[in-house]
Amino acid sequence: MDTREIDTRNYTALLKKYIETQDEQALYGAEQISKSFIKKNILPEEFVNLHIQALLEIYPDLHDKIKPSMHFLLEAMISYGLAHQEFQNLREKQLAIKSEILVAARMQKMLLQSKIPETDELDIGVISVPANQMNGDYHHFVKGKDGTISITIADVIGKGIPAALSMSMIKYAMDSFPENIMTTDTVLASINRVVERNVDPSMFITMFYAQYKPDTGKLYYSSAGHEPGFYYSSRLQKFKDIESKGLVLGVNPDASYVQDELNLEKGDIIILLTDGVTECRRDNQFIDRTEVIDVIKKYIHLPSQEAVNHVYRHFERLQNFQLRDDFTLIMIKKQV
Amino acid sequence: MMNSQSCVTILKEWDIVAARQMGREIAKNIGFGTVDQARITTAISELARNIYLYAGEGKISFNIVQSLDTKGISIKAEDKGPGIKDLSQVMEDGFSTSGGLGAGLPGVRRLMDDFDIISEVNKGTTIVTVKWLR
């Protein structure tokens, strides 16, 4: 006896029992049967057909108006069966896409990973967390042969896969620039031309690029419309915005940038971030930049990596553990 | 032996019903059960509706086909309409159904066993689909 016959028999028995007793147990049985049918991919029209067969067995001389009415129902079920199969197929596809994105995200992480350079002069901490699976924020550290430490932080307006793809391009463009012989403003001017040529005009990228020269203790920097970071002066015990003027990348191929500088003293701190930090929302209201400073102040005594982790956790909780934008925060403390 | 080819010209919405009727009758004679008859008829409806809605005019013809161990019904839908530019797209689940247009061509393929489509822009579309008796 094949499974179909068993199903038919069970169903008929159950239906018969219910017609006689109308008790809950038979209905529970119906629930179990329908679940097992779904597992076996039995379509609604086949279910209705089974019901017709069962009815005919129980009432061999079924009222001649009932039979066509059951057939009518069967015909009407065909489209439901198709919709059901379509949903199933789409669900499988969705799972496949999900796992594909997961692989892509892992690959992106590997491509874009940046080791924090080892240096006694600076204590560097960084945290970068994507809102979805793929990150549209970018940060990168390079230690040159002369000890110069270059720091890049960038943000694609938008998030998700298109943003993440643009970021991979930025990384390889940056890697191709000659090491340390360029000033920060020329680096931005060059990357601006790359972005302008290669990225969809509807996509904007902001970037902050800095070089720390250990021999002079100076930080040189330029910004392409990037969210201003913070400079903390340990002597004055005060925070100041790191302002630098420059157009976002990819708008005008001839944009030029300016190089500014900061004299770093022992205990001074540089904080770089993306707008995922400053645009954290509480009850749909953007938080204030001063609020970001208040949170940073709370953890500023900690080693940089611990401090940024704590700040992230604070904002993660503030947003009910659902980031709305990619979040990147870098903290650099001058140690000596 | 019965005449193995029959066809219905699709011009008005009412012709869809005529095509359904002829197809169901042939399917029944071949020996298809009620569930398969319903599936074949739904497929015919879908093909005829596509002609009516997108080509304006065309025809549906039926053939009884024979293989080594079984027989089946072959349905051919032909029109000289606008044709389909992107076949992969219309054969994709969720494309035609998202607008509530019905089962679409992926639905026809599911309801039947064999499915083949040839379409050329501005020349027309021919779909041949077969359901085998099991």
How many domains does chain B contain in total? 1
**Spatial distance between the Cα atoms of A39 and B104, rounded to a whole number of angstroms:** 25
Does residue A73 fall inside a structural domain? yes
Please give the pLDDT value at position A281. Answer: 66
- A4: confidence class by pLDDT, cuts 50, 70, 90: confident
Give the nearest partner residue to A90 out of B33, B39, B93, using CB atoms: B93
Average pLDDT, chain A: 89
Whether A188 and A275 map to the same domain: the answer is: yes
Q: How many domains does chain A have?
A: 2
Strongest mean pLDDT among A1-5, A288-292, B3-7, B97-101: A288-292
- Is the per-residue pLDDT at A278 higher than 80? no
Residue to test with chain A: of B35, B98, B109, B112, most A Cβ within 10 A: B35
Q: Say whether both A72 and A215 belong to one domain.
A: no
Residue A105 lies in a domain: no
Domain end point (choices A77, A92, A107) = A92
Instruction: Give the per-residue pLDDT at A176.
Output: 84
A268 and A236 within one domain = yes
pLDDT for B1: 39
The distance of A144 to chain B (nearest Cα, Å) reads 51
- Of residues A63 and B38, more confidence is placed in B38
**Per-residue model confidence (pLDDT) at position B82:** 93
- Position A101 in a domain: no
The Cα of A82 is separated from the nearest Cα of chain B by a number of Å equal to 6
Q: Is A251 exposed, middle or buried (0-12, 13-18, 19+ CB in 10 A)?
A: middle
For A92, nearest residue in chain B (alpha carbons): B93
pTM above 0.80, yes or no: no
Show Cβ contacts of residue A60 under 8 Å, excluding neighbours closer than 6 positions. Answer: none
Report the CATH number that the domain containing residue B97 is assigned in CATH.
3.30.565.10
CATH number at residue A68: 1.10.1240.30
User: Quick one: A200 and A300 in the same domain?
Assistant: yes
Using the predicted structure, report yes or no on whether residue B112 has a pLDDT greater than 90.
Answer: yes
CB contact under 8 A, B103 and A79: yes
Q: Do A45 and B107 touch (CB under 8 A)?
A: no
Is A275 in the same domain as A216? Answer: yes
- pLDDT tens readout for residues B27-63: 999 999 999 999 999 999 999 999 999 999 999 999 9
Of A58-72, A151-165, A262-276, A278-292, which range is least confident? A278-292
Do both A278 and A316 map to the same domain?
yes
Q: Which of B35, B94, B102 is the closest to A46 by Cβ?
A: B35
User: What pLDDT is attached to residue A150?
Assistant: 93
- The pLDDT of residue B102 is 59
B96–A contact, CB cutoff 8 A: no
Distance CA A189, CA A121 (A): 29
Contacts of A46 in chain B (CB under 8 A): 35
Nearest to A82 among B34, B94, B103 (CB): B103
- Cβ-Cβ contacts under 8 Å, B110 against chain A: 82, 85
Model confidence band, residue A283 (pLDDT cutoffs 50, 70, 90): low
Return the higher-pLDDT residue of A7 and A150. A150
| CATH code for the domain of A255 | 3.60.40.10
Q: Best interface-test mutation with A: which of B32, B92, B93, B98 has the largest number of A CBs within 10 A?
A: B93
Residue B2 pLDDT grade (very low, low, confident, very high; cuts 50, 70, 90): very low
Are residue A179 and residue A300 in the same domain, yes or no?
Answer: yes
Q: How close B4 gets to chain A, by Cα (Å)? A: 26
Measured CA distances, A302 to A133, A268, A306, B5 (Å): 29, 14, 6, 86
Q: Which long-range contacts (CB under 8 A, 24 or more apart) does B20-27 make?
A: B20/B44, B20/B45, B20/B48, B22/B62, B23/B60, B23/B62, B23/B73, B23/B75, B26/B62, B26/B64, B26/B73, B27/B73, B27/B131
- The answer to the question of residue A155 being in a domain is yes
Which percentage of chain A shows pLDDT scores above 90?
53
CA distance B10 to chain A (A): 22
Domain encompassing residue B81: 5-132
Do A210 and A317 fall within a single domain? Answer: yes
- Two tokens, residue A70: 């059951």
Q: Please say if the pLDDT value at position A73 is more than 90.
A: yes
CB-based contact B23:B41 (threshold 8 Å): yes
Supply B75's token pair: 């349905």
What's residue A174's pLDDT? 85
Return left, alpha or beta for A22; rule: phi > 0 is left, psi -120 to 50 is alpha, else beta. Answer: left
- Report chain A residues whose CB lies below 8 A from the CB of B94: 86, 90
Q: Is the pLDDT of residue B100 over 70?
A: no
Q: Which domain holds residue A129?
A: 116-334
User: Which tens digits make up the pLDDT trace of B57-96?
Assistant: 999 999 999 999 999 999 999 999 999 888 888 888 877 6
> Is B92 an 8 Å CB contact of chain A?
no
Residue B90's nearest CA partner among B74, B102, B80 is B102
Q: Is residue A242 exposed (0-12), middle (13-18) or buried (19+ Cβ within 10 Å)?
A: buried
What is the mean pLDDT of the segment spanning A316-333?
Answer: 86
Chain A residues near any Cβ of chain B (below 8 Å): 45-46, 49, 52, 71, 74-75, 78-79, 82-83, 85-86, 89-90, 93
- Determine contact, residues A198/A191, Cβ cutoff 8 Å: no
Minimum distance, in Å, between the CA of residue B86 and any CA atom of chain A:
20
The alpha-carbon radius of gyration of chain A (Å, integer) is 32
DSSP letters of A66-116? HHHHHHHHHHHHHHHHHHHHHHHHHHHHHHHHHHHHHHHHHHHHHHH--PP
User: Over the stretch A170-200, which tens digit does the pLDDT of each residue have?
Assistant: 888 888 887 666 899 999 999 999 988 888 7
pLDDT for res A46? 93
pLDDT tops 90 at residue A242:
yes
Mark which of A41, A59, A92 sits at the end of a domain. A92
Q: What is the pLDDT of residues A91-115, one digit of tens each?
A: 999 999 999 988 988 888 888 888 8
Instruction: Look at residue A108 and tell me if it is in a domain.
Output: no
Tell me, what's the pLDDT at A323? 78
Q: Give the pLDDT score at A51.
A: 94
Mutation to test the B interface, candidates A51, A73, A78, most B Cβ within 10 Å:
A78
Query: Is there a single domain that holds both residue A236 and residue A307?
Result: yes
Mean predicted confidence (pLDDT) in A59-80: 90
Q: How far is CA A64 from the centre of its chain?
A: 61
Q: Tell whether the model's pLDDT for residue A265 goes beyond 80.
A: yes
Name the residue among A283, A281, A270, A312 with its Cα closest to residue A295.
Answer: A312
The arithmetic mean of pLDDT across residues A207-213, rounded, is 95
The predicted pLDDT at position B47 comes to 95
Are residues A62 and A204 both part of a single domain?
no
Specify if A284 maps to a domain.
yes
Same domain as A277, residue A327: yes
Asked if A291 and A167 sit in the same domain, the reply is yes
Distance CA B130, CA B125 (A): 17
